[in-house]
Structure formats: structure tokens, C-alpha cells
Amino acid sequence: MRAIGFMRVLGVAAGLTLPASLALAAPSAPEPEPKTLATPRLTHAEDSLVCGAETQRQEQAMAIPDRLLHAISLVESGRWDSDRRASFAWPWTVTAEGEGRFLPSKSAAVAEVSRLKAKGVTNIDVGCMQVNLQAHPDAFGNLDLAFDPATNVAYGARFLTELRAGTPDWETAAAYYHSQTPALAAGYKTKLIAAWNAARSRADDRGSTTIATAEFEIEPPIGMVLPTPAQGAQSPDQVLAEVTATAKAAAAQTQAEQRATLTRTLAERAEAKRIAEAYRKARLAEYRAHKLQMTDARG
């Protein structure tokens, strides 16, 4: 489930709340159930680029490592475009009741959240960065702002930097974006690092990306572009297998590093114990020698 699980754990980031006058709009009357949109073909090319354009802006503005915020958005709201053989963060994504929905437009996404809220559903993730409206009731003034890509990504970027301030590195902060529960954070971190490495590798292959116009034309696409058929990527299943293999390799490397760290820690502890014992024996020998001298002097 693509969701900001960490937001449910940590609550609202300090200093990022909006005035009470901008409280979330009251839900409208229930609307008909939307048509299933599990894997529809992209209909608006520009919609598939806006999240990437905004994550790029925020990475530069907030000094976030290149492609890290972008990779988080892909894990959170990414959808596959078979025509361009790329995965793009989708701005009109809604996740609730254990189901992710790719809506065709901003108005449809707002209507879907209003429908869910009218049903009494409050645990809802929205937009490029899948901000949880229950854990962050003050994140946005209303649903229109919640689905504004610039506002949604800016909030996710600020929250990530808040997490970084209390963690040892950016990778840990990004894992906490999902959850601070160790098992959940570890699984998310593995998936995220695989997406981040793939995004950076593709950017290196094609050169740096730039925003060409105010309409967010990006060349090359800022999505996680995957190999063309000529390079051996024949289907999404093969792509998934490659990403899974990368994730497993990353997990194996992490485990190896942890074992090496543990070995060093045990060796350091043993050395410290040896030094302490040698010091204790030396001081004891000094004490005994001093005591013997005192005895001889009295005799």
C-alpha cells in the first residue's frame, strides 16, 4: 500500500500547520462510486510530469539529495506508462481502505476524497507524496490545495527535512517517511533505495534534466525511465524482476555491512576489556608493592 505510514506514527511536523481559518473543507454529499481505475492508460502527458517537476524544484530549494524526494514520490504514487516504458508519480492518486486509486483529474480526485469522507473514512492519503489527511489535518487548507502538486510536494519535502534533523542520515529519514516501526521502515527503505538508485542511474545515463517551460515540459522525462526493448526490458514483469533482484542485492549488502559492524563492535569491546583488565592488574601490583614498602618501613 503506497502511503505515508510515518505520518500516522509521527503526527504533524512542528511549525508546518496552517491557520484554523484554512481548515479542511467539509465533505460534500456522497457521490456515485467511481469506475475502477486500477491500471488505466495515462490520458494527460502533462499530468504525469508535474510531480516530478515539483520534486526536482524542492530538492534544489531544500538541499535534499538529488532524486531522493523524487524516488519517494515514485514509491508512494508511481504508476506505469507502457507507451513510454516509464513510471511516473501521479498527482491525482488517492489511497484509502487499503486500495490505491489513480483518478483521471484533480476534480475527480477531490470528488473521490469528498465521497470517502462522507462515508466516514478519515484515513486517506492524497497526491504526489500521499500525505495522510488523518495524521496531518492541518497540512492543507482544503482539498483543492491538497491536490495542488506544488503544495503537496512542498509539504512532503518539509516533512522529510524535519525527519532528517532527527536521524543520522537521509536514507533513515526517508525510511521514516513511511514508518518508524523497524520492520516496516526496513522494507520500505529497501524498495526506496532501489528506486533511488535506478532514478540516479538513468539521470546519469541521459544527463541532467531541466524544466523547459512553465507547462512542465521535461526532457528527458523525470520519471524512472526503464530500459528499452533493445536493451532487454521486454515487459513490466521483467522490469519487476530486475527491481526485485536489485532490492535483494541491496538488502544483502545491508546485512553484510551490519555483520561487519557487529564484528568490529565485538572486537572493540574485547580490546577495551583487555586494556581495562591490564590497567586493573597494573594498579593492583602497584598497590601491593606500596603496601610491602610500608610494611618494611615499619619493621
Say if residue 223's pLDDT is above 70: no
73-77, 191-195, 264-268 — which is least confidently predicted?
264-268
Residues 6+ apart with CB under 8 A from 91: 47, 50, 51, 77, 106, 109, 127, 128, 147, 149, 152
CA distance 266 to 288: 33
pLDDT at position 245 is: 63
Ramachandran angles phi, psi of 110, nearest 5°: -60, -45
Q: Which three cell numbers stand for residue 2?
A: 503506497
42-46, 111-115, 122-126, 197-201 — which is least confidently predicted?
42-46
Q: Are β-strands 218-219 and 224-225 bridged in parallel, bridged antiparallel, or unpaired?
A: unpaired
Q: What is the pLDDT of residues 26-81, one digit of tens each?
A: 334 444 443 333 434 444 567 888 999 999 999 999 999 999 999 999 999 998 88
What's 102's DSSP letter? E
Mean pLDDT over 4-23 rounds to 36
Q: Which three cell numbers stand for residue 59?
A: 530538492
Q: Which long-range contacts (CB under 8 A, 24 or more apart) does 256-265 make?
A: none
Q: What 3-state DSSP class applies to 178?
A: coil
Say if residue 218's pLDDT is above 70: no
Mean pLDDT over 226-244 rounds to 47
In the chain, domain spans: 5-226, 227-299
pLDDT at position 237 is: 52
- Residue 112: pLDDT band with limits 50, 70, 90: very high
Residues 6+ apart with CB under 8 A from 43: 104
CA distance 37 to 291: 88
Amino acid in the structure at residue 9: V
136-145, 161-170, 184-193, 221-230 — which is least confidently predicted?
221-230
182-206 helix and 68-77 helix, angle to the nearest 10 degrees: 120
CA distance 144 to 154: 15
Tell me if 140 sits within 8 A of 24, measured CB to CB: yes
What's 211's DSSP letter? E
Say if residue 136's pLDDT is above 80: yes
Q: Tell me if the bond preceding 220 is cis, omega within 30° of 0.
A: yes
Taking CA atoms, 39 is separated from 113, 125, 148, 149, in Å, by 19, 18, 22, 21
CA distance 132 to 4: 6
Q: Which three cell numbers stand for residue 247?
A: 532490492
Taking CA atoms, 56 is separated from 96, 142, 181, 265, in Å, by 27, 24, 28, 39
pLDDT at position 166 is: 92
Mean of per-residue pLDDT scores for the chain: 74
Which is more confident, 110 or 46? 110
Say if residue 209's pLDDT is above 70: no
Q: How many alpha carbons lie under 13 Å from residue 263 in its C-beta half-sphere?
A: 6
